[in-house]
Structure formats: C-alpha cells, structure tokens
Amino acid sequence: MLDKLNEIEKAALESLAAINDEAALEAWRVANIGRSSPVMSVFSQMGALSKEERPLVGQRANQVKVAIETAFAQKAEAVKQAALAKALTGEKLDVTLPGRPARHGRLHPASQNLRRILGILAEMGFQTYTSRESESDEYNFQYLNFPPNHPAREMQDSFYIEAEGREDNPILMRTHTSPGQIRAMREFAASDPENPPAIRIALPGMCYRFEQITARSEVQFNQVEGLVVGEGITFSALKGTLSDFARRMFGQNAKTRFRSDHFPFTEPSAEMDVECYVCGGKGCPVCKKSGWLEILGCGMVHPNVLMNGGYDPRRYTGFAFGMGPERQIMLRYKINDIRYFWGNDVRFLEQF
Ligand SMILES: [Zn+2]
C-alpha cells in the first residue's frame, strides 16, 4: 500500500508538471484531488488494513494528499500569472492615440478686463480695496454729496432691502463703487486722525441699478474706481495720471481729451475720452463718427466728501475716477447687446 501511495504521488506530480492552461489544470484537479481520485480511494480502503499497517498508511496518505494539494496551488498561481502576462503582451494599448481633451474653465470676459485694469493701476501704485455690495443710503448717497431728493439720484434707481426702522437710512444694493471711497477714507483716517495718511486705491466690483433691462442697460454691471487723496493733489495730477493710464490700457499712442461734466461727489468734474481704437479717430459707427470714445468719468473730490471721509478739505485734496469694464469690451469687440454678459450663454463666453 505504501508503494502504491508513492506511485500515486509520482504520477500526479509528473502529470501536473506538463500542464499549462486553466482547462487542463481543472481536469487534473478533478482526477487527482477529487472525491474519486487515487489518493482518496486509499483512504476508503483503510478499513481493510491490519491494525499495524493502518497508522503508517494513514500518515503516508495524508503526506501525499498535502503534497499534491500544495503542488496544485503553486501550479494554479503559475498558470494565472502566465495567462496575465500573455494578456498584457497580446492586448497592447496604443498610447499614441490622442486623449480626450480636458475642458478648462476660464474667467468671464468682464473679470478678465477688470483684472487687466486693476493690474495696470497696481503698476501705477494703486492698492485694490474691496468694499461691501449692500450699503446704507448714507454711504451710497448722502456722504457722497447726494442729499435726499437730490435730482442726481434719479439717475440711479435702486434696489432697496426691506429693513424695519431704517426709513431715514434704508439699505440698498450699491448703485456705484463710490461708497467704498468713504469707507476707505474713514479706515485710513482712523489710523491717525490728526494726520490721515495719503490714499491711492482702486475700488472694483459689482453695482446694481433698478433698470429696465435692454440692449443698453442691465441691472448689474462692474465698475472700477480710483481714489487719490493727499496734500497738494491737483487737477493736473488727475490729467497726468489718467492720460498715463490710457496709454497703458489702449497703447502708447492713445490720445485723450477731457470734457467738463457734472457729478455730485466731484468738483470740478470731467469725462475722459480716448481716441477711437476701432477706427483710429477717423470716425466709425462704434464712435458714432466722432472719433472719440467716452471711457471714464473723473473729477476733484468734493470738499464735503473729503470731510465725510475724515480728511480736512482745507489741508487735503484728491481726485477720483470711475469706469466700466464691460463697456470697454463692448466697444472693443463691437458687442451691441449688454445682456450677453450675464445671460450665461457659453457660446458668447467661450469667445473670450
Ligand atoms: Zn471710431
């Protein structure tokens, strides 16, 4: 019986060595480890053995069974690895095929131009100062020299926010970035009330007006405003700074002109035009044949505004200017409808 077990082990291991695929391996497993395999039949014949033989044969039969099973497990692993290696070499990937393009978002055209303007102003020493979008009537109008019932308020119909007990100073969405002038001046002045420091800041952000939405007017738009306050600031400083800004923004040969205008918070006030960059000043539909484009409003800060900001107008002067980033893009790209900007149509936005 022990000789027979040796033969069973030898035959099983030899036939296993020749196997290379999973189907043959499975057939081998059934034949050599299955219920009716030779080694299992030895166990079923144990009852016929003598008392002396039984433990020896039993021990040897177990050894053979373990040896066959161990060999099978090793072979199964080897066959699996071989199949994997074959699959890897057989099913080659063509890594030279172009991949699926990743879609990148980008900044809204208004944000792009806003950043460009702020970048140019930063080169000129203007620090960006962001201010709140909901304001009180005092900051949005009164401190900026728009008293209650002032006719200039008619130009800036507003979105009011309901708030109990604030009838004399209601909350509204800011109609311009100018309330930031007062907030900035008060903050700077608070640092040294006897000798408030000089200011050179840019105030960017969204403004809101209660308008009929048309091709020319929207309920929301960006503004960028500049404010310079200090001792001995003159109108020629305003003209020099803004002409320099126009050259940086529209090119070294950009020509500018100033026309007098009126704003409640500046005195004197002006509009700055830049020579039409679409036609080069010859006259075209964009500039309405005038050769000039209206780019920004500006003026010397009104003494009342300086005072409201904590700066003594007998000692300090300053100038301010404001412009619309969307308007500049509309002029440059001949966009004839302002509603495209906030309509969220990617066909428009993807062009920038
Ligand atoms: Zn033109």
Q: How far apart are CA 236 and CA 15, in angstroms?
A: 104
The distance from CA 258 to its chain's CA centroid, rounded to whole angstroms, is 38
Which of the 8 DSSP states describes residue 100? P
What would the mean pLDDT of 261-287 be, rounded to a whole number?
A: 91
**Distance from C-alpha of 127 to C-alpha of 180, rounded to nearest angstrom:** 13
Give the model's confidence band at 8: pLDDT under 50 very low, under 70 low, under 90 confident, else very high: confident
The string of pLDDT tens digits covering residues 27-59 is 888 888 888 888 888 888 888 888 888 888 888
- Specify whether the CB–CB gap between 335 and 352 falls below 8 A: no
pLDDT digits (tens, 9 = 90+) for 194-228: 999 999 999 999 999 988 888 888 899 999 999 99
How far is residue 326's CA from residue 338's CA, in Å, rounded to a whole number? 8
Residue 84 has pLDDT above 80, yes or no: yes
Instruction: Look at the alpha carbons of 117, 119, 125, 126 in this order and tell me if their dihedral is positive or negative.
Output: positive
Of the candidate ranges 24-33, 177-186, 193-202, 269-278, the one whose mean pLDDT is the lowest:
24-33
CA–centroid distance, 287 to ligand 1, in Å, is 4
Residue 248 has pLDDT above 80, yes or no: yes
The pLDDT of residue 14 is: 87
Distances 219 to 85, 94, 159, 341 between C-alpha atoms, Å: 66, 54, 9, 11
Cβ(109)–Cβ(327) under 8 Å? no
Instruction: Judge contact between 71 and 13, C-beta under 8 A.
Output: yes
Q: If you search the block for the tokens 């308020």, which residue do you land on?
A: 153
Distance, in Å, from the CA atom of 170 to the CA atom of 179, rounded to the nearest integer, reads 14
Please give the distance, rounded to the nearest whole angstrom, from the Cα atom of residue 160 to the centre of ligand 1. Answer: 39
| Averaged pLDDT score across all residues of the chain | 90
Residue 267 has what pLDDT? 95
On the question of pLDDT at 258 being above 70, the answer is yes
Ligand 1 center from residue 9 Cα (angstroms): 100
Q: Is the pTM of this model over 0.85?
A: no
Q: What percent of the chain has pLDDT over 70?
A: 99
Q: Above 90 in pLDDT, residue 93?
A: no
Give the Å distance between the CA of 292 and the centre of ligand 1: 7
Q: What is the pLDDT of residue 155?
A: 65
Strand-pairing partners, residue 208, are: 220
Check pLDDT > 90 for residue 124: yes
Give me ligand 1 centre to Cα 278, in Å.
5
Distance of CA 331 from the midpoint of ligand 1 (Å): 9
Span 288-306, pLDDT tens digits? 899 999 999 999 999 999 9
Give the pLDDT confidence score for residue 173 in this predicted structure: 93
- Name the one residue in this structure whose structure tokens are 């309405």: 288
Kindly state the helix (H) or strand (E) to which residue 301 belongs, with its residue range.
Answer: strand 292-301
CA of 294 to the centre of ligand 1 (A): 11
Distance 275 CA to ligand 1 centre (A): 8
Q: Provide mean pLDDT across the span 54-65.
A: 86
Percentage of the chain lying above the pLDDT 90 cut: 50
Do you know the residue count of the chain? 352
- 57 CA distance to ligand 1 middle (Å): 109
